[in-house]
Amino acid sequence: MDIKNRQQNIQKILLRAFRERWPEYQFGIKIKQALPLALPADAYNLTEVLLDLSLIGIGANKLFLSYLKHSLHSHLISYSAVIKRITKYSQYERYFCLIALLEFLINISDTCCCRTKPEESSLMNAILSLVHWLIELSEKIFLKIMEQNNIPTHEQKVCLERITTLNNRIVNNQFLMGIIYLAKLEDRELYEKCVMSYKRIHSLSKEDFIKDFYQMIFNKLDHMPMKELEPRCVESISVCLQPFIAIEVLINASADVSVNVSKLLMIQKLKKYSNARLYHEIIRSCFITLCHVKDVNYRIWGAFTLCKVPLILKQLHLQAKNVDEKLDYSEDVVKAFEMLLECTPILDLLDTTFACNSIECILVELRKQNLVNDDIMKKLVDRRISSMGKLEKFQISSTSPPIDKYVATIEPTLTALIQSLCEPIKPEFLNVLNTLVIDNRAFLLYSVAAVKGIHRKMISGLIKCNESCKEISGEAAKSKQNIIFRSNAFDVTFIMLFSIMQKCGGIDKFPEKSNDYFFEKWIRDGYIDLQSKPRSPLSVVKMSDSRLEELIAYFNDINQQPSPPISNKLSEICWSIPSLLYNCIIAWEKDMVKPAAVKNIIDNMRSKNCCFAIVAASWLCAYMKILKDDELAKPKVMLQQLMNPLDESIMKQETFSERFHLTQEIIMKLSRSVLDTKKATNNSNDSLFSDQWKDITTKKWLSYEVAINLDEILKSCGSFWIMKNLVDEIMHTKFIKDMENTLDIAFAIMHLNIESCTETLLKDILISMLFNKNQMSKITNPQSKALAKLSIYGILATIESAESSSQKKRPREDDDLSQAAKMRKTGIDQAVSIESTQNDKDQSSQQLKDSLRHSLQELFKVFHQQVVTDDELSPKINFIFQFFSLLVQFEKSVKIKAILRLIPNGLVMNLLKLVHQDDLTYGFILRLYDLSVSSGRLSAISDLCLLQNSK
């Protein structure tokens, strides 16, 4: 029987049912007998026929409407078909029919759902069409009332009351609001019609139910509630920012200000700090570290606090929302200092340590950035001075110079240095360079130069200076004094450049240049950094065999006359040293040379130029890393000899002792990674980490020296070792508050290498815990929540770090363009418009780094396997739920879309079946999909219907 014949049979059944007044159950039996099971009743227009018969007369036929409702509840017809057909009713003057339809919609609004895949996409269009129909209906009624001199009839009043009731039902139904949110993304044309209709009706009336239309049309994802695992309250005492800033100064002291700002904004979002609280924590963290830092590191921290922090606060202020631009100061900065003045113990310790007024020191710098004015500055300084009066009776003597006076001398020194580097090197300038190798002053200047955006000029000048002295020839080679001068200039510039590179964190963080100068070529091809550019140390040996015999003769007797030609070719000596060392080791192992001869060569090498010792040590360290334990003895002796003191006669040479001390520091740092790696076999790293962690937990903050030690542990043991220990420390914590503090410190330590640590946590530690039954106890509450939280922190920080890395290459001269970001943020919120939705889609096209994406894919595969195989709620399932809940809670920007796209199909659906319904909300489901693409919207509505049916 074809569809047309069946439609005729349906009409006959309906007419008979009307004549005989069948009850609903009898109608249901007869209609099911007339319909085949293969196709739904929608295919035979049962909905349309029932509604047509219901609306023939002046009023609605309640019998046919009851049949329609019964057909809905019997799953004969779909909600989408019924609602779509009702929205086509355009006889707006027949109020009794309209009232009946509105009452019918009110009755079915709470049970509206889908039960088959084809219904899901049609339901989105149907619900949005209903909103459009209700707005148009309201508009027609208002226009009619205006024609009646604003005197509504009883029917019009009832109709408006029913619209109000239905609107309230829709607005208070999170399922329907979720459908509307998806529908406006799916059908943009219909959504635009809704917006235009709303604008018209908004100009006609100010009735309360118009607000309901606004909520429906301009519904945002933020308006869809979800059960938040992390409370919204802000912690009273923070232990997160201080260790984070300590790590940042260690790893990224010379980073662009925008890099620091982006990371601090991420911390602010995770911790829900206000702007004032963020500013307060930044300054407080710097003060805590500064008053406890040892040796000469206080100079670096002083420069960071007084030179870079004001610029960081300035950029944060420019990017802040709701800033009153009429004021000549920042209200948030003032509030931050009011909170800071309550930290009396920290201020007292800092002021007595450096014999200064710390509040005044930093306010002077903030005044230059127009973050405070003179009146506010005087008021805050006076408050601090009144508190400092109590310190005078203690008569505490300061052991360090006033930090503000020391830092104040940096800028003119830096300016003079860069100007001098642009000119041909002179003997007077060499004396200046020699003073910069004392107490790490070169790196201090570099740090300040990085803050000012001129660090590349400084590095470029030093490299060019080094290049001009790499070979002494012509007239310059005829004067012994000139030879010594150029040799010393080559030596000191090489040492300064290598020291800066080492303190920056390696080759990757050293400013890159495109010119083919010697130092750049040596860093690129001659320096072996197995962490940044893994390659064999023997590859360098093969590059430098040509002048080997001449070099051996030269270093055997450095005072030989006349000097060999290679003695004036300093760059060639540097290239040939690896070959010399390798051949010495081979000859020594074969007893072809005696240890005394090797010692003599090394002593002569480092007494000539300190840079030769650095070249030798860097190659020896790389070579030792590829040797077996029983082959280390002789290279180790040679490395130790490079660090031993020299004869007093050599040390008394002009400026040599200063260069030698910095060289020793460089070599010790190079050798520490090798020695620590070999020590790992006897479990000394466990005790070292334990000591550092004990220091952290005792103080509740991270000292700069401990940060340095942890960095060395990470480099020697790897990210898996340190992440395993950090996770164990979190899991062993007994109290929730202590666990939160431990988590914050662990998160800060991860920033030593955030990408590697996060990827290790995701694909190694978490997966191991989910598969290992012996570790099931570690993923129970509250430990599982802490572990999930640490994972999300790491993911978001890794994404932010990747974005910051891409921003580093932006020229400093573009900083004046950063005001545009402020203008965008403080402008009219366009998130509700179609254009903004498209912009979000464009922004979300950003891709994750391959390594992070691969780690997340592996983790999500394991998640999917767990939710498919488990048939009940377990600690594993609870951890997966907490992971996704915290992910969508912490990250609400378009950045999350790249992560959501990696979730396998079916993972969320199976997870919803296992998690307790009280923990699930429609807002949670909507946040788990990338709704900018059609596939994400279809998956979302499928899961929305699954949750609705289960409830």
Q: What is the dihedral of CA 102, 108, 114, 119, to 10 degrees?
A: -30
C-alpha to C-alpha distance for 199 and 262, rounded to whole angstroms: 39
Residue 601 CB partners (closer than 8 Å, separation 6+): 552, 555, 556, 580, 584
**In the block, residue with structure tokens 């060392």:** 581
Nearest to 725 by CA among 700, 690, 695: 690
**471 bridge partner residues:** 569
Backbone φ/ψ region at 35: left (φ over 0), alpha (ψ -120 to 50), beta: beta
Q: Is the pLDDT at 513 greater than 60, yes or no? A: no
Q: Is the pLDDT at 249 greater than 70, yes or no? A: yes
Q: Is the pLDDT at 894 greater than 80, yes or no? A: no
User: Which carries the bigger pLDDT value, residue 361 or residue 34?
Assistant: 361
Instruction: Determine the 3-state secondary structure of 471 from DSSP.
Output: strand
pLDDT digits (tens, 9 = 90+) for 654-685: 778 888 888 998 898 888 766 655 444 445 77
Confidence bin at 532 (pLDDT 50/70/90): low
Rg, C-alpha atoms of the chain: 37
User: Which carries the bigger pLDDT value, residue 275 or residue 24?
Assistant: 275
Q: Is the pLDDT at 926 greater than 50, yes or no? A: yes
Angle at 667 between CA 662 and CA 671, to 5 degrees: 150
CB atoms near residue 447 (< 10 Å): 27
Q: Is the pLDDT at 726 greater than 70, yes or no? A: yes
Q: Is the pLDDT at 799 greater than 60, yes or no? A: yes
- Mean residue pLDDT across the chain: 83
pLDDT at 7: 66
What separation in angstroms does the CA of 138 have from each of 86, 98, 163? 15, 11, 8
Q: Is the pLDDT at 73 greater than 50, yes or no? A: yes
Give the range with max mean pLDDT: 283-287, 323-327, 419-423, 842-846. 283-287
- Please give the share of the chain, as a percent, with pLDDT higher than 90: 37
Dihedral sign from CA coordinates of 480, 482, 483, 484: positive
pLDDT at 616: 93
By the 8 A CB rule, do 212 and 172 touch? Answer: no
Nearest to 177 by CA among 840, 926, 939: 926
Asked if omega into 401 is within 30° of 0 (cis), the reply is: no
Average pLDDT of 338-356? Answer: 88
Q: Where are the alpha helices (DSSP H) in 718-782?
A: 719-731, 736-750, 754-760, 767-771
Confidence bin at 252 (pLDDT 50/70/90): confident
Average pLDDT of 894-918? Answer: 90
C-alpha to C-alpha distance for 248 and 261, rounded to whole angstroms: 11
Residue 306 CB partners (closer than 8 Å, separation 6+): 361, 362, 365, 403, 404, 407
Confidence bin at 563 (pLDDT 50/70/90): low
Q: Where are the alpha helices (DSSP H) in 230-343?
A: 241-252, 257-271, 275-290, 297-303, 309-319, 331-340
φ, ψ for residue 471 (rounded to 5)? Answer: -140, 130
pLDDT at 951: 74
pLDDT at 534: 64
User: Which carries the bigger pLDDT value, residue 413 or residue 44?
Assistant: 413
User: Which carries the bigger pLDDT value, residue 581 or residue 778?
Assistant: 581
Q: What is the residue-wise DSSP string for 112-125?
A: ----SHHHHHHHHH
Average pLDDT of 500-525? Answer: 73
Confidence bin at 918 (pLDDT 50/70/90): confident
pLDDT at 925: 93
C-alpha to C-alpha distance for 285 and 242, rounded to whole angstroms: 4
Least-confidence region, from 240-244, 293-297, 468-472, 648-652: 293-297
C-alpha to C-alpha distance for 882 and 230, rounded to whole angstroms: 10
pLDDT at 844: 40
Confidence bin at 757 (pLDDT 50/70/90): very high
Average pLDDT of 129-143? Answer: 93
Q: Is the pLDDT at 773 greater than 90, yes or no? A: no
DSSP H helix total and E strand total for the chain: 50, 0
Instruction: Determine the 3-state secondary structure of 230 from DSSP.
Output: coil
**In the block, residue with structure tokens 């027609």:** 140
C-alpha to C-alpha distance for 53 and 34, rounded to whole angstroms: 19
Give the range with max mean pLDDT: 340-349, 646-655, 833-842. 340-349
Q: Is the pLDDT at 277 greater than 90, yes or no? A: yes
Angle at 166 between CA 211 and CA 115, to 5 degrees: 120
Does this model's pTM top 0.75? My answer is yes
Domain residue limits, the chain: 3-223, 274-408, 410-679
By the 8 A CB rule, do 622 and 537 touch? Answer: yes
Nearest to 24 by CA among 72, 94, 79: 72
User: Which carries the bigger pLDDT value, residue 125 or residue 35?
Assistant: 125
Instruction: Determine the 3-state secondary structure of 372 from DSSP.
Output: coil
pLDDT at 814: 37
Q: Is the pLDDT at 195 greater than 90, yes or no? A: yes
C-alpha to C-alpha distance for 485 and 480, rounded to whole angstroms: 9
Give the range with max mean pLDDT: 416-425, 435-444, 553-562. 416-425
Q: Is the pLDDT at 101 greater than 80, yes or no? A: yes
Nearest to 484 by CA among 308, 656, 719: 656
Confidence bin at 722 (pLDDT 50/70/90): very high
Q: Is the pLDDT at 632 greater than 80, yes or no? A: yes
What separation in angstroms does the CA of 85 have from each of 63, 123, 517, 612? 18, 12, 77, 87
For the chain, what is the largest distance between any 2 Cα atoms, rounded to a whole number of angstroms? Answer: 130
Q: Is the pLDDT at 815 greater than 70, yes or no? A: no
By the 8 A CB rule, do 280 and 332 touch? Answer: no
Q: Is the pLDDT at 916 greater than 70, yes or no? A: yes
Nearest to 279 by CA among 270, 267, 290: 267
Confidence bin at 448 (pLDDT 50/70/90): confident
Q: Is the pLDDT at 789 greater than 90, yes or no? A: yes
Instruction: Determine the 3-state secondary structure of 313 from DSSP.
Output: helix
Q: Is the pLDDT at 762 greater than 70, yes or no? A: yes
The 10 Å CB-count burial string (b at 16+, else e) for 815-846 is eeebeeebeeeeeeeeeeeeeebeebbeebee
Q: Is the pLDDT at 190 greater than 90, yes or no? A: yes
C-alpha to C-alpha distance for 492 and 490, rounded to whole angstroms: 6
Q: Is the pLDDT at 425 greater than 90, yes or no? A: no
pLDDT at 683: 54
What separation in angstroms does the CA of 390 have from each of 167, 331, 344, 384? 66, 29, 11, 11
What separation in angstroms does the CA of 784 have from each of 191, 738, 791? 42, 15, 11
pLDDT at 826: 32
pLDDT at 41: 54
By the 8 A CB rule, do 292 and 346 touch? Answer: no
Q: State the burial class of residue 47 (Cβ atoms within 10 Å of its Cβ: 0-12, 13-18, 19+).
A: buried
Q: What is the residue-wise DSSP string for 541-603?
A: HHTT-TTHHHHHHHHH-TT-SSPPGGGGBHHHHHHHHHHHHHHHHHHHHTTSS-HHHHHHHHH
**In the block, residue with structure tokens 């060569």:** 601
C-alpha to C-alpha distance for 417 and 412, rounded to whole angstroms: 8
**569 bridge partner residues:** 471
